[in-house]
């Protein structure tokens, strides 16, 4: 099985990516308030529920094809989130809001060096929860009082999303992120026998018929012995030589 080879997966990913694009196109070019930017950001991120359900219906969120499709759409939704964040209003830094969110977000788990989209989405959700905790703790009910905290939240989510997108659009960083992603694909796969763990038996770099570079992972279920050969295209392998 090669990532990206199943035409049904490609069709679903393209259709859903187009829906994400349409959602973005329907948004204003600039948000007058951080509150509105937060609303648009949440609406953008919530599209994950739709494609998660669709993938579960047509493939499996624990199967190779389903995981590949999820990762592609998570990336598409994060690119859209980056665009929403760029449309937020400019705001002066506020020392109190900065300190309060810095303290709260210090409790969040440390991010992977080469995160996969779902990890970034999880971290963003945790930031929103932390933001709510801070507002509740400080008893900030008035719109005006909340504003600097909303600006600060958006700034921090933007840093998170920008770091991810930049790792996926810079060739060499993208290569290492692709390699690390293979591990996380296998880690999420469940075998049909019910065992939630495949073990990697062999990893090899192979050249496809068109001269393209691929990483091949031969994996085996420790319970029933089911074996799979998974191929991951490494489109940025050639970029390493110029690094
Ligand atoms: Zn099995």
CATH code (residue 221) = 2.30.30
Distance 225 CA to ligand 1 centre (A): 6
Do residue 144 and residue 29 come from a single domain? yes
Do residue 66 and residue 127 come from a single domain? yes
pTM of the predicted structure, to 2 decimals: 0.93
Tally of domains in the chain? 2
Phi, psi of 207, rounded to the nearest 5 degrees = -110, 130
User: Do 118 and 74 contact (CB within 8 A), yes or no?
Assistant: yes
Within 3-91, residue ranges assigned H as helices are 7-25, 34-45, 47-58, 64-86
Do residue 16 and residue 87 come from a single domain? yes
pLDDT in tens, 165-193: 999 999 999 999 999 999 999 999 999 99
Considering the domain boundaries, does residue 98 fall inside one?
Answer: yes
Distance 216 CA to ligand 1 centre (A): 20
Distance 198 CA to ligand 1 centre (A): 8
Distance 54 CA to ligand 1 centre (A): 25
Do residue 232 and residue 135 come from a single domain? no
Do residue 134 and residue 220 come from a single domain? no
Distance 169 CA to ligand 1 centre (A): 36
Within 106-190, residue ranges assigned H as helices are 117-138, 143-169, 171-188
229 closest CA partner among 176, 193, 182: 182
Distance 222 CA to ligand 1 centre (A): 7
Last residue of a domain, one of 169, 199, 220: 169
Which residue range is the domain that position 221 belongs to? 189-242
Q: State how far the Cα of 191 lies from the Cα of 62, in Å rounded to an integer.
A: 8
Do residue 193 and residue 102 come from a single domain? no
Do residue 145 and residue 194 come from a single domain? no
Assign 219 to helix, strand or coil.
strand
Considering the domain boundaries, does residue 174 fall inside one?
Answer: no
Do residue 47 and residue 113 come from a single domain? yes
Do residue 70 and residue 135 come from a single domain? yes
Beta bridge partner(s), residue 232: 215
User: Do 141 and 107 contact (CB within 8 A), yes or no?
Assistant: no
Distance 227 CA to ligand 1 centre (A): 9
pLDDT band at 208 (very low <50, low <70, confident <90, very high): confident
pLDDT in tens, 37-85: 999 999 999 999 999 999 999 999 999 999 999 999 999 999 999 999 9
Considering the domain boundaries, does residue 149 fall inside one?
Answer: yes
Predicted pLDDT of residue 242: 60
Q: State how far the Cα of 143 lies from the Cα of 212, in Å rounded to an integer.
A: 55
Distance 196 CA to ligand 1 centre (A): 8
Assign 21 to helix, strand or coil.
helix
Distance 224 CA to ligand 1 centre (A): 4
pLDDT band at 2 (very low <50, low <70, confident <90, very high): confident
């Amino acid at each position: 099985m090669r990532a990206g080879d199943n035409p049904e997966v490609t069709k679903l990913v393209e259709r859903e990516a187009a829906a994400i694009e349409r959602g973005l196109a329907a948004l204003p070019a600039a948000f007058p308030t951080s509150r509105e930017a937060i609303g648009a950001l949440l609406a953008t991120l919530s599209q994950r529920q739709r494609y998660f359900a669709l993938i579960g219906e047509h493939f499996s969120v624990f199967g190779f094809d389903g995981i590949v499709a999820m990762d592609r759409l998570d990336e598409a939704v994060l690119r859209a989130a980056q665009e929403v964040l760029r449309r937020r209003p400019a705001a002066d830094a506020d020392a109190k809001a900065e300190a309060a969110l810095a303290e709260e977000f210090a409790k969040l788990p440390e991010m992977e060096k080469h995160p996969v989209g779902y990890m970034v989405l999880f971290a963003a959700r945790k930031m929103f929860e932390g933001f709510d905790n801070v507002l509740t703790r400080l008893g900030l009910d008035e719109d005006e009082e909340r504003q600097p905290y909303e600006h600060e939240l958006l700034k921090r989510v933007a840093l998170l999303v920008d770091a991810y997108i930049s790792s996926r659009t810079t060739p060499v960083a993208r290569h290492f992120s692709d390699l690390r992603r293979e591990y996380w694909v296998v880690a999420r796969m469940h075998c049909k026998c019910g065992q939630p763990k495949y073990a990697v038996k062999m990893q090899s770099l192979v050249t496809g018929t068109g001269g393209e570079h691929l990483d091949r992972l031969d994996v085996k279920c420790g319970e029933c012995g089911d074996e799979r050969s998974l191929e991951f295209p490494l489109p940025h392998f050639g970029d390493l030589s110029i690094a």
